[in-house]
Structure 1
C-alpha cells in the first residue's frame, strides 16, 4: 500500500545498514551459571562500526549476525581486497571475543545471508477504510526488537480506530488521522532509542544512553517509555 499506491515510503539514511548472518550448530550457551543463561548475546564490534548478535533457536542452532552501516561494509571490504561474503562475515565475528567464545567449537551450517535498506517509514499510515501496520508501514532496525513493538501497537490502534469509525463514534477521516499519529509517535520514540544506542556504541566512553559503569540501557528506557496515562 505504501509503495504501490500511496508512494510515500522513505528510507532512513542514518540507518542505512547491512545485516549479514548465518546459522551455527553446537554453539556454546551464553551466561552458563548466571541469571542470563541461555539468553541471546549482543555486543558492539571492536571498531565501533556496528554490533553483533547470537540468538539460540528452537532447532538447536544459533543465529549469529553482524549489523553495520553500508559505508563501513564497503570500506572494510575494499581494505580486505573484496573477500567473499563468508570470509567477510567470519572476519567481523573475530572482532568480538564474546561471539568467538560461543562459536569456537561450532559449525556454520547455512549459507551466509544478507539484507539491507530495511529502515524506512512513511508520511501516512492510513487511507479511507485502510490502516497500515507493522513492516507494511515502517521499520527501524533489529536492535531492541522495535519491529515487534511497532506491529503490536499498530494492530491495537488499527482495531480501535476501525471500531470507532464503524460505530459512528468519529469520522473515518478522523479515525485514520489518529491512527497515523499514533504509529508516527511510536516510530519516532523508538527511532530516538535506536539512534541513541548506535551513538553509544560509537562513543563507548561518552554517556549517551547510560552512565559510565552502567551495564544496560534500563534507566534510559524508563525515560523513553510512555507513561500508563499517555495517549
Structure 2
C-alpha cells in the first residue's frame, strides 16, 4: 500500500519534507497559498544547512544563483563599541561559509526541486482547515485554489509547514509565546548602501543601539535587507503616533554604523512589520500530523536560525512520518524523540540569544535592561545542556564569542568555566590509560568505572537511513536528549556496576568471542570508555 501525504506550505520546511518523503516512495501533495517566486524575510543562512541542501540536490542551483557568500557575522555588541567579527571557518572547517539569499529565488529553487523529484505541487492553493475523525486523528484538509470552490484532500499523514500562520497550531490552540522575546521587527530593502570592508563584505552586520538592534544583510545586485528589532509593546506605543515609515527611519538614525552604511543608499519599498516573533507549541506531533519549521516554533532571529530549523526539522519529520506509517511500534516513541531533537536545537538557539541579550552593555535603555534576565527554575535543564555545549566548543566557537565580547551573567561564566576545568582535569587524568601499541596492557583495564548519578541507558528510536530505527542511547542530566552508542558500547555500559574492573567487564562481554575478533574490538571499546569518562557519563575510574 502506498500512503498519501499532504504537506501544507511550500517554504524550505515544506519543500524539503515533501522531497524527502517522495524519495521514500510516498504519494506526496504539497499545497502552497502563494505563487512562487514570492518575497520572504529571513535571508541569512547558516553553514549547518549546507549538508542538507546538498542532500536535497540543490547546491548547484544555489551556487549558480549568484547569492552572496557569507563567511560569518560582524557585530557592534557587548562591551566594545567597535565592530568585531567571527567566522564560520573557526569552528566549521568542512563548511566555512553559508549564503545570504534572496528568499524569493531560494525558496523557488527548493519548491521546483520538490516537483522534479515527484511531489505534486499546487501553488496558489490555500489550506483553510484540517479535519479530524472521531478519534482525534488528522485525516484531511480543506483547500481552495484561487477562486475555485473549496475541496477536501484526504491524507494518511499531514505535515504542517504553514509557517507563522501555523494552521494546526492555531486550530488546536497549541502555540505558546515566549515572554523573553516579545519583539517586533520593521524591515525594508535598500539599494546602493555601503558594504563592510573585505573579507567581511558578505557578512551579516548586527548593531545594538538604544532601543534594540539592527541588521544589514548584503544581497546580490547591490541590495541590502535592513531591519530593526525592538520591544513589541514599546513599538506599539510609538507606532500609535507615527507611520511605520517614520518609525523605521527614526530607529535607523539612532544607529551609528548602520546609518552610515545606508547614507549612500535609497530605500526600495515601504517598510514592513513582523510581530510576535518567538513561540513554541505545546505539542509538535499528534495522531496523523506533525509540525515543522515555523509552524512548530520560532526563535528570535539574532542568529539567523529560521531556515536551518526549517530544514533540519524537515529531515526529522520525513524520517518520523516514514517510520510512523511503516513501523507502527515506532510511532509513539519516535514522536517523543522527534520533539526532543527539534527542541534541543530550539533551546540551544534560545539560550544563545538570551545570553547575547543579557551580555550586551552598549546601552542601558529599557530594552536592554529588560533582557538582562533572572532565570526561572524551569530553565535549568536546557540551560545546563547549553552550558555543556558551549564548554565543548573551541575558544573561538560560535556561542563562545559572548564570553570575550560581552558581559555574560556571572553564573553562566562560572558554569562554563567549571565544566571546562572539569573536562580538562578528566582529559589529563585519562591520558596514558590506553596503550595504543599493546591495548591488552592498557592501565585502564585494571580500573573500576562508576557511572554518574542520573545516567541511563535506553533502547530508543534513532535516525537511520531516512527513517527512525531502534538503537541504544545513553542519557545524562547535561545531555537529556541522549547520545547514540553502538551495540557493543551499550552492552559494556550496561554491565558497569561500580564493583568490577574494566578487565572483568570485558571478559564477560567478550566471552566466547574468538581471540582475533577480541583484539579488533578491544581498542574501540577502551576508547569509548575513555570518552564516556571525559564526558562525565562515567563519574569515576578508581
TM norm. shorter chain > 0.5: yes
Is residue 2:209 matched to residue 1:39? no
Residue 403 of structure 2 aligns with which residue? 211
Unpaired segments of 5 or more residues in structure 1? 215-219
Q: Give per-residue Cα distances to partners, 1:160-192, cap 9 Å, x unaligned.
A: 222333442733122222212222222222111
Q: Is the 8 A contact 2:356 2:402 kept in 1?
A: no
2:353 and 2:483 map into 1 onto residues whose CA distance is 21
Is residue 2:345 matched to residue 1:186? yes
Q: Give per-residue Cα distances to partners, 1:18-63, cap 9 Å, x unaligned.
A: 10111111111112xx321232211101x2x311011122243211
Residue 197 of structure 1 aligns with which residue? 356
Q: 1:191 to 1:213 in 2, by over 3 A?
A: closer
Residue 105 of structure 1 aligns with which residue? 264
Residue 180 of structure 2 aligns with which residue? 14
1:174 and 1:87 map into 2 onto residues whose CA distance is 52
Q: Is the 8 A contact 1:129 1:172 kept in 2?
A: no
Q: Give per-residue Cα distances to partners, 1:117-143, cap 9 Å, x unaligned.
A: 121111111112322110111001221
1:129 and 1:178 map into 2 onto residues whose CA distance is 16
Q: Is the 8 A contact 2:303 2:349 kept in 1?
A: no
2:276 and 2:223 map into 1 onto residues whose CA distance is 26
Residue 125 of structure 2 aligns with which residue? none
1:203 and 1:182 map into 2 onto residues whose CA distance is 35
Deviation at 1:115, TM superposition (A): 1.0
Residue 175 of structure 1 aligns with which residue? 334
Residue 65 of structure 1 aligns with which residue? 227
1:15 and 1:178 map into 2 onto residues whose CA distance is 26
| Secondary structure at 1:135 match in 2 | helix
Q: Is the 8 A contact 2:205 2:217 kept in 1?
A: yes
Q: Is the 8 A contact 1:22 1:65 kept in 2?
A: yes
**1:88-167 matches, cutoff 5 A:** 88-167=247-326
2:351 and 2:297 map into 1 onto residues whose CA distance is 14
TM-score norm. by structure 2 comes to 0.36
Residue 169 of structure 2 aligns with which residue? 2
2:361 and 2:178 map into 1 onto residues whose CA distance is 18
| Secondary structure at 1:20 match in 2 | strand
2:191 and 2:332 map into 1 onto residues whose CA distance is 52
Q: Is the 8 A contact 1:161 1:178 kept in 2?
A: no
> C-alpha root-mean-square deviation of aligned residues, in Å?
2.8
Q: Is the 8 A contact 1:21 1:89 kept in 2?
A: yes
Which structure has more strand as a fraction of its residues?
2
Between Structure 1 and Structure 2, how many residues are aligned?
211
Q: Which shows bigger deviation, 21-30 or 53-62?
A: 53-62
Quick check: which has more Rg, 1 or 2? 2
Residue 217 of structure 1 aligns with which residue? none
Q: Is the 8 A contact 2:216 2:224 kept in 1?
A: yes
Q: 1:120 to 1:96 in 2, by over 3 A?
A: same
Q: 1:188 to 1:171 in 2, by over 3 A?
A: same
Unpaired segments of 5 or more residues in structure 2? 1-167, 365-371, 373-399, 407-415, 421-478, 485-542
Deviation at 1:12, TM superposition (A): 1.2
